[in-house]
Amino acid sequence: MTKKQKDKPDIVAVAKAAGVSISTVSRSFNHPELLKPATRKKIDRAVQRLGYIRNRAAQVMHGRRSGTIGLVVPTIDNAIFAELIQSFSDGLDQQGFTMLIASHGFDLDREYKMLRKLMEHRVDGLALIGLEHSEATYQLIEQQGVPTVAIWNYSDEARLSCVGAQNSEAGRLAARHLLDLGHRDIGLVFPDPVGNDRAHDRLHGALSELRREKIKVPEEWQLQASYSIADSKRASLSLLGRSPRPSAILCGNDIIAQGVLYAAKRLGIAVPGELSIMGIGDFKGSGEIEPSLSTIRIPAKRIGALAAKQIADAVTGKSAGTTATNYELSILIRDSTATPSGMANT
Amino acid sequence: MTKKQKDKPDIVAVAKAAGVSISTVSRSFNHPELLKPATRKKIDRAVQRLGYIRNRAAQVMHGRRSGTIGLVVPTIDNAIFAELIQSFSDGLDQQGFTMLIASHGFDLDREYKMLRKLMEHRVDGLALIGLEHSEATYQLIEQQGVPTVAIWNYSDEARLSCVGAQNSEAGRLAARHLLDLGHRDIGLVFPDPVGNDRAHDRLHGALSELRREKIKVPEEWQLQASYSIADSKRASLSLLGRSPRPSAILCGNDIIAQGVLYAAKRLGIAVPGELSIMGIGDFKGSGEIEPSLSTIRIPAKRIGALAAKQIADAVTGKSAGTTATNYELSILIRDSTATPSGMANT
DNA sequence: AATAGTTTTGCAAATGTTTTCATTTTTGGC
DNA sequence: GCCAAAAATGAAAACATTTGCAAAACTATT
């Protein structure tokens, strides 16, 4: 073939094909209103004919934005984040951004590496989950000056802009609900709080509320389970198989609660008759499970959408400085919690 | 603040700080073995001190690969794809790639737009879900010559490399299982097959198997539900509330099956005693539900991992040409299916 | 038909990196 | 110490685009 054959057409090829200069082609993309309609049409046709697609990399080199936002999450394949990621992605898309995503499996050192990787790609902005990050991570963000938003957690003394809810409050509310129902024998199933401030905060919120009522949770009623139905079912099978067993179980999130629910069902323990189960999160489907899951609602969709808008605004200069948005939590009393059986007829 | 203040340090700044030439700095990244250890150390220190992060955009301009792979999915927030996306992402990460992701909500025209968007970012490779795409999409891929893999579906006459399973076979197997158990009154709950070849193929596989046994599914036993527990529960509540009702329901996937299961539970219909429920997919947690879900296993994790490897190999030139990989399906007989009650004691 | 605007277009520099080729420095054998 | 060979480094071109500035092409006014 001639000179071009394997490689993609560039703006020069388009210019030649349209019989105009490179600058004119460039302008037809960036400031079309400056062109004579006839010229614009010529260029459009050439673009069409050649199958030209603009090269963002070259634009970035000019100080243009890359049009990408990096999202770093612990895991993707987890009901917890799926809704959030979707709404975040949709929000970005609306603003013309593309999402680069990386996961670190709850390993904060890997998180740091992922951040660097995304920065090499010159993302215009970044989103992380939670506010617990390695010092290196925080320093990197500050040093590089990449607009960043922390999702899912709220703190008024956060080092980053954040959009989320108070997880300690979520834990507290969940505990409160069980206490209000009259439960005193309460078990806890939570994920490993290391490197996971959401879990940590929820657990401590719950524990502090229980402590206020002078309730102690025996060591063997405090279980750890990863964010998986299988894991939580396995863990709680042993807890529920023993005697005495708690009259209620407070779970670190709805997935764990689902596992506990199935464990109870497997053991023939009636929910909520003999055992109340409380979740946190209100994941998709939590209201449809039978019995439907009582839980603390954290509005993932709205959080994701707002986070997208915030980071986009920060990038485009529509806003500056750090902001902290706290979403109110609400308690959803459904069918998995009830008055403990011993008190049923008081 | 001398000359540089707001902008990120570049390779020139590093070179100056380290007292070497630009080329040497570049080499220290790309061919460190060519440098004298002392020089390398000087550069490393300068990089450290300045907080320099390489600029991929500039590398891309040099004909280097961008190190990104684009993934276009119908939705992210769906258990269906979550596992797949995670393993795909992990696989890419291992090979040093970063994932750009975009979702189109089962709209093939939007899919095309997303593809273009990703191509502007000069992704090295692309992954799509399924083999049904608009003609424009196929042409774009061929014209641009971006290595592409279709995930989740298999066909030996596919226009793209593919890694997946035969969805029609999955439908067939699911139907076969119910037939083998003795069911004749079978309901179907599937998602809208438009723009969704996975659903389409499964449905038709199932229908053809039923036809082989001369079984007709009444119109009112064929329901449509989106991939959501809520939707499928709602839809099947009406189906199951009527009389006569089927003795078994075959579902387009495990999420839908879950919805049907909860509907049955709500109505006090025993599963599998009075109603068998068959899923497709074997999603995370399907085995832990009570009763555990009989389903057709599609190995999402392995498919995602292999797809990642394939696309990485195609990009790095380790392989060429199109390939088609078919994963075998297996049937998982668990507790949600049984002999229909009328035949219980034959 | 010439002038003064105004609109449209082109030229060339700049962006951050890699790489080829040339040059300088180092090494080791004598 | 000297020389050839080997190792390490540097200079400059190339990549695809944007944009400030200048030139050219129109328009309307006289």
Q: Which residues have a Cβ under 8 Å from the Cβ of B4 and sit 6 or more positions away?
A: B13
Q: Is the pLDDT of residue A343 over 70?
A: no
Check whether residue B43 and residue B93 sit in a common domain. Answer: no
CA atoms of B66 and B99, how far apart (whole Å): 11
Distances (CA, A) of B178 to A165, B165, B237, B276: 46, 21, 21, 8
Residue B61 forms part of a structural domain: no
For residue range A231-287, list pLDDT tens digits in order.
Answer: 999 999 999 999 999 999 999 999 999 999 999 999 999 999 999 999 999 999 999
Residue B262 · residue B240 · CB < 8 Å: no
Q: Does residue B6 approach strand C to less than 7 Å at its CB?
A: no
Check whether residue A217 and residue A259 sit in a common domain. Answer: yes
Q: Percent of chain B having pLDDT more than 90?
A: 94
Domain that holds residue A42: 11-54
Check whether residue B89 and residue B35 sit in a common domain. Answer: no
Sign, CA dihedral A120-A121-A125-A127, equals negative
Q: What pLDDT was estimated at residue B78? A: 87
The total number of structural domains that make up chain A: 3
Residue B59 forms part of a structural domain: no
Q: How many CB pairs under 8 A join A and B?
A: 159
Count other Cβ atoms within 10 Å, centred on residue B23.
10
Q: Which residues have a Cβ under 8 Å from the Cβ of A165 and sit 6 or more positions away?
A: A152, A153, A154, A298, A299, A303, A326, A327, A328, A329
Check whether residue A173 and residue A293 sit in a common domain. Answer: yes
Q: Residue B302: which of B117, B90, B124 has the closest Cα?
A: B90
Q: Does residue B33 approach strand C to less than 7 Å at its CB?
A: no
Q: Percent of chain A having pLDDT more than 70?
A: 97
Interface residue of A121, A138, A269 to substitute, partner B, most B CBs within 10 Å: A121
Check whether residue A175 and residue A268 sit in a common domain. Answer: yes
What does A156-202 look like in DSSP terms, one character per residue?
TT-SSEEEEE-HHHHHHHHHHHHHHHT--SEEEEE---TT-HHHHHH
Check whether residue B206 and residue B338 sit in a common domain. Answer: yes
Residues in chain B: 346
Mean pLDDT of all residues belonging to chain A: 95
Sign, CA dihedral B263-B265-B270-B272, equals positive
Residue A4 forms part of a structural domain: no
What does A72-95 look like in DSSP terms, one character per residue?
EES-SSSHHHHHHHHHHHHHHHHT
Give me the residues paired with residue B330 across strands. B297
Considering only CB atoms, which chain B residues are within 8 Å of A228? 284-285
Label residue A136 by pLDDT band (50, 70, 90): very high
Q: Is the pLDDT of residue A56 over 90?
A: yes
Residue A59 forms part of a structural domain: no
Check whether residue B207 and residue B339 sit in a common domain. Answer: yes
The SS3 of residue B292 is coil
Q: Is the pLDDT of residue A81 over 60?
A: yes
Q: What pLDDT was estimated at residue B320? A: 87
- Protein CA at A18 to nucleotide C1' at D24, angstroms: 19
Considering only CB atoms, which chain B residues are within 8 Å of A117? 98
Check whether residue B188 and residue B137 sit in a common domain. Answer: no
CA atoms of A157 and A324, how far apart (whole Å): 9
Label residue A78 by pLDDT band (50, 70, 90): confident
CATH number of the domain that residue A337 is part of:
3.40.50.2300
Check whether residue B173 and residue B294 sit in a common domain. Answer: yes
With an 8 Å Cβ cutoff, are A121 and B98 in contact?
yes
Instruction: Say which range, A19-28, A139-148, A212-221, B335-344, has the weakest mean pLDDT.
Output: B335-344
Check whether residue B207 and residue B305 sit in a common domain. Answer: no
Check whether residue A77 and residue A112 sit in a common domain. Answer: yes
Q: What pLDDT was estimated at residue A320? A: 87
Residue B179 forms part of a structural domain: yes
A 54-83 near B (Cβ less than 8 A): 54-58, 60-61, 66-68, 75-79, 82-83
CA atoms of A61 and B181, how far apart (whole Å): 64
Residue A90 forms part of a structural domain: yes
Check whether residue B284 and residue B185 sit in a common domain. Answer: yes
Residue type (1 letter), A158: A
Q: Residue A326: which of A158, A175, A162, A124 has the closest Cα?
A: A162
Tokens of B207: 């229908």
Label residue A20 by pLDDT band (50, 70, 90): very high
- Whether A267 contacts chain B with CB within 8 A: no
Nearest chain B Cα distance for residue A251, angstroms: 17
The alpha helices in chain A, defined as continuous H runs, are: 11-18, 22-30, 37-50, 56-60, 79-94, 108-120, 135-144, 167-181, 197-212, 229-241, 254-267, 300-315
Residue A181 forms part of a structural domain: yes
Q: What pLDDT was estimated at residue B6? A: 57
Q: What pLDDT was estimated at residue B342? A: 67
pLDDT tens, residue order, chain B (346 aa): 333 345 789 999 999 999 999 999 999 999 999 999 999 999 999 999 999 999 999 999 999 999 999 999 999 998 889 999 999 999 999 999 999 999 999 999 999 999 999 999 999 999 999 999 999 999 999 999 999 999 999 999 999 999 999 999 999 999 999 999 999 999 999 999 999 999 999 999 999 999 999 999 999 999 999 999 999 999 999 999 999 999 999 999 999 999 999 999 999 999 999 999 999 999 999 999 999 999 999 999 999 999 999 999 999 999 988 999 999 999 999 999 999 986 544 4
- Whether B49 contacts chain A with CB within 8 A: no
Residue type (1 letter), A328: E
Residue B62 forms part of a structural domain: no
Nearest chain B Cα distance for residue A177, angstroms: 25
- Whether A53 contacts chain B with CB within 8 A: yes
Q: Which of residues 50-79 of B touch strand D (CB under 7 A)?
A: 58, 61-63
